[in-house]
Amino acid sequence: ATSTIARASDVLAVQTRLRRSLETTAGEKRSCSPPCHTGFLYPPFFLSHSVPLVVFQDDLIAVVKKPEMLVTIGKKREDLQSFLPFLLYPPDSEDSELMTPAPVHRLDRRTSGLVLVAKTRSALRELGRSFAERRVKKSYAAWVLQNKNATPPPASDADDGAPWNVIDYPIDGKKSTTHWRPLRTLPLPSLPSSGSEEHFQLSLLDIRPVTGRYHQIRRHLSYCLGMPIVGDGKYDGGGSVAMSLRCADGRIYLCSYRLEFPYPAVTKGTVNITRTERPGDIDPAIDDGYDLGANKKFAVRTWRKGFSCSEDDGSSITMMSVCVPLPQKFGQISG
């Protein structure tokens, strides 16, 4: 039994969305994890209006879009991990199945976006190794408050050859690196006059953290660049303009919109990946020129990449990229 008592409308809303998430491309339905695994008959109902979205899943992994104001892994049954057994179907493979799906990494509670999930022990082990070796690329977008008179730092080339600015500043005594680049600017929305708003503007940044320290993006942007994320009351410095842009419920403008990672399969041939799609939602031909503001589609794509190692020199791995559009509020910030 569940310890949570919910309204009938909440139960219906959750169950309807969960049934849709379990439909495969072929239209067949597969059940979620049994109660003997989860210990509960029903999912957490407090999230009836913000159920996490399954962007991709197969027998080994899943990629889930986490809503903001939800912790990834928490002590109580109010986190993303508690929802996963009701969102994802269990693996149908010979691999050792996890009792419940496990997030491989975390997002801050106030950050929305993509979370990579493992369904089997081998997938969890391989994905954990990829994160440890920094072979997983995470891309974020954030609206920040920028001083118009600030001089932008010189750009340098990242791994892909594109011009990126680099923040290399330790956090809590540990090496921490963040790549970022500006995408566009907007004037501030109408605010109560404070006399200083004319010196500021909003900037949309594309961000790629190389390391994963606690609140790394939020701290690097605020402390190193003086460009706090809009709504971030913890790191915005408490200025009059920054405070006027805060949300009453503590929400911030930071979203993890893309993940690129080695698919956890040891195989010489092509990996057959079944995608959970909705007609018109997924454009597999999308490329790295993804328009953060205008594109409204999901994208899931895979490709082979040459990779050399001492055990099997000249072998290749399958890379996977998952991309989602930004939350609607990102396009409504100016007005």
Q: What is the CATH number of the domain that holds 99?
A: 3.30.2350.10
First to last CA, the chain: 46
Distance (Å, whole) CA 137 – CA 142: 17
Q: Are residues 115 and 184 in the same domain?
A: no
User: Domain for residue 261, yes or no?
Assistant: no
Helix axes of 80-87 and 8-21: crossing angle, nearest 10 degrees: 60
Q: Are residues 165 and 195 in the same domain?
A: yes
User: Domain for residue 302, yes or no?
Assistant: no
Q: Are residues 109 and 184 in the same domain?
A: no
Nearest to 140 by CA among 61, 62, 218: 218
Q: How many domains does the chain have?
A: 2
User: Domain for residue 101, yes or no?
Assistant: yes
Q: Are residues 82 and 180 in the same domain?
A: no
Query: Residue 75 above 80 pLDDT?
Result: no
User: Domain for residue 46, yes or no?
Assistant: yes
Q: Are the C-beta atoms of 188 and 201 separated by less than 8 Å?
A: yes
**Tokens standing for residue 11:** 């139960």
Last residue of a domain, one of 184, 217, 245: 245
Query: Residue 187 above 60 pLDDT?
Result: yes
Q: Are residues 11 and 116 in the same domain?
A: yes
Q: Are residues 11 and 127 in the same domain?
A: yes
User: Domain for residue 84, yes or no?
Assistant: yes
User: Domain for residue 331, yes or no?
Assistant: no
Inter-CA distances, 19 with 11, 16, 25, 175, 335, Å: 12, 5, 14, 44, 36
> In the prediction, which pLDDT does 27 show?
47
The average pLDDT across 263-269 equals: 60
pLDDT band at 299 (very low <50, low <70, confident <90, very high): low
Q: Are residues 67 and 169 in the same domain?
A: no
Q: Are the C-beta atoms of 71 and 30 separated by less than 8 Å?
A: no
Q: Are residues 12 and 114 in the same domain?
A: yes
Q: Which of 153-157, 182-186, 206-210 shows the highest mean pLDDT?
A: 206-210
Last residue of a domain, one of 219, 245, 271: 245
The average pLDDT across 317-331 equals: 86
Q: Are residues 157 and 110 in the same domain?
A: no
Please, what is the average pLDDT of the chain? 75
What percent of the chain clears pLDDT 70, i.e. is strictly above it? 62
Q: Is the dihedral of CA 39, 42, 45, 50 positive or negative?
A: positive
**Which residue numbers are catalytic?**
108
Nearest to 227 by CA among 242, 216, 213, 212: 242
User: Domain for residue 306, yes or no?
Assistant: no
Inter-CA distances, 215 with 72, 76, 149, 222, 232, Å: 14, 22, 26, 11, 11
What is the per-residue pLDDT across 271-282, written as a single tens digit (0 to 9) for each?
A: 444 343 333 333
User: Domain for residue 55, yes or no?
Assistant: yes
Q: Are residues 11 and 129 in the same domain?
A: yes
The domain of 162 spans 138-245
Choice between 112 and 304, residue whose per-residue pLDDT is larger: 112
Backbone torsions φ then ψ of 85, nearest 5 degrees = -60, -20
Spell out the alpha helix ranges (H) of the chain.
8-21, 35-38, 80-87, 121-132, 216-219, 240-244
Q: Is the dihedral of CA 80, 117, 141, 225 positive or negative?
A: positive
Last residue of a domain, one of 191, 213, 245: 245
Q: Are residues 124 and 150 in the same domain?
A: no
Q: Are the C-beta atoms of 45 and 6 separated by less than 8 Å?
A: yes
**Tokens standing for residue 308:** 């050399």
Q: Are residues 126 and 165 in the same domain?
A: no
Query: Residue 145 above 80 pLDDT?
Result: yes
Give me the residue label for tokens 């099997």. Answer: 312
